[in-house]
Copies of this chain bind each other. A is one copy, B any other.
Amino acid sequence: MIKTMNKTHLNINEIQKIVSIDLLAVNNIIIDNIGNEVPLINDLSKHILASGGKRIRPMITLLTSCICNYNGKNHLFLAACIEFIHTATLLHDDVIDESKMRRGLATANDIFGNKASVLVGDFLFSRAFEIMVANGSKQILEILSKASSTIAQGEVLQLTTINDCNTTKELYMKIIKRKTASLFAAAAEISAVLSEEKLEIQNSLKIYGEKLGIAFQLVDDALDYAGTSALDKKIGDDFREGKITLPLIISIEKATPEEKCFWTRTIENLEQSSDDLNKAIELINKYDGINATLRIAKKYSIEAIKSLDIFPKSEAKLALESIAIIAVDRKK
């Protein structure tokens, strides 16, 4: 029995260590596939792909392959695909949101321009398809292409709710399920398909990914009103963009008429002065918006862990459970 088996959960370094050889192989596949005679593709891809992302999504593919006792090499290529699709959406997101910073570094659009970010995003996206066609079965291609179009639908849906204070919790949940959870779900499900596991296992891993993805996004959205300036991610991005997330929805729902006016001015009309973010945080805390969001995230995290019950105890299982715990316990 390995040493880690007796611990309640692993930290991110311990998790990475479990799949370190695979992660290295995935990194090499990523580097091989952005190597290109067009220097701008190289430079921009390297900037975003080497900028210290935690590789959570490919790690899920690696660990779920492990839990399914997969012993081929295709999971490495599919994990790289997942990271490419994720990176392509990040590039386009940063253009859409006009973001200046990501992971404590200047965004690709800030350095290379919006045009290059859109086109290199397209490149990474199509390269992901090239890789998956070479390494995936028809069912895997169906899962990944469906996940991609679901992400895009979620992103468009989110765009239509920007600045709209009447956005409901239900619509918000639908958006995050699509824009974030669908890729997490696909990242986990494909491992079971690759390993030719029965439908029940495929479904359990899909649910694990989906619940984890929802928890992950909920925490991201809570942290945007709860972080400190010492953290990589500046707080208040969502507020400044008028993006409607759960902490906001909770507070708007309970707002007094006067508070409603504040939200209309700052979120709907995007008329914001320097002190408005503090006021927004104050109002969100008044109605417990951050904690309420984190509590829901916790519920999804527990459901994610529960969906792994079908698997016997193993190091990979502990790692997947730990990811679900870390997703809701993190401070950034």
Contacts and interface: CB of A to CB of B under 8 A. Distances in A.
A41 interface: yes
28 contacts: A38-B156, A38-B157, A39-B160, A40-B160, A41-B156, A92-B118, A95-B114, A95-B118, A96-B115, A96-B118, A116-B156, A119-B156, A119-B159, A120-B156, A122-B125, A123-B153, A125-B125, A126-B148, A126-B149, A129-B129, A129-B141, A129-B148, A129-B149, A130-B145, A130-B146, A133-B142, A134-B142, A141-B141
Interface of A: 36, 38-41, 88-89, 92, 95-96, 114-116, 118-123, 125-127, 129-130, 133-134, 138, 141-142, 145-146, 148-149, 151-153, 155-157, 159-160
The 3 closest A-B pairs by CB, nearest first: A126-B148, A123-B152, A126-B149
A155 B44 CA distance: 14
Contacts of A141: 129, 133, 141
Contacts of A39: 160
Contact of A38 (B126, B148, B153): B153
How many copies the complex holds: the figure is: 2
Contacts of A115: 96, 159
A40 B126 contact: no
Contacts of A123: 149, 152-153, 156
Contacts of A92: 118-119, 122
Given A130-B145, A133-B141, A152 B96 contact: no
A205 B40 CA distance: 32
Q: Interface centre among A40, A92, A156, by most B CB within 10 Å?
A: A156
